[in-house]
Amino acid sequence: MGSDPIMLWAIYVAYQLTGGWIRSVGKSWLGNDLFTGTTGGLASSLLVLGVLWTFCWWLYRRKVSIRI
């Protein structure tokens, strides 16, 4: 997964495009209390990281790669 620089770029773009959406869906599903306070930023970042890692894993398992 990490050896393909184009895939890393694609994940960066996915983060920029969907990071806010993932956070808002997480707040509605898991409750807003989890994302407030001193550990709110950490919980939010871990949620986004987990979703995007799962997406990368799904692409890897299906042997999907971006080619130019």
pLDDT tens for the 68 residues of the chain, in order: 455 677 777 788 888 998 889 988 988 898 888 888 888 889 888 999 999 889 888 888 888 776 66
Task: Give the count of domains, the chain.
Answer: 1
Residue 39 sits in which domain range? 5-61
3-state secondary structure (DSSP) of residue 68: coil
**67 falls within a domain:** no
**34 falls within a domain:** yes
**49 falls within a domain:** yes
**51 falls within a domain:** yes
**37 falls within a domain:** yes
**30 falls within a domain:** yes
**52 falls within a domain:** yes
Question: Is residue 11 left, alpha or beta, with left meaning phi > 0 and alpha meaning psi from -120 to 50?
Answer: alpha
**36 falls within a domain:** yes
For residue 11, what are the contacts with CB-CB under 8 A and spacing of at least 6?
52, 55, 56
What is the pTM (predicted TM-score) of this model?
0.76
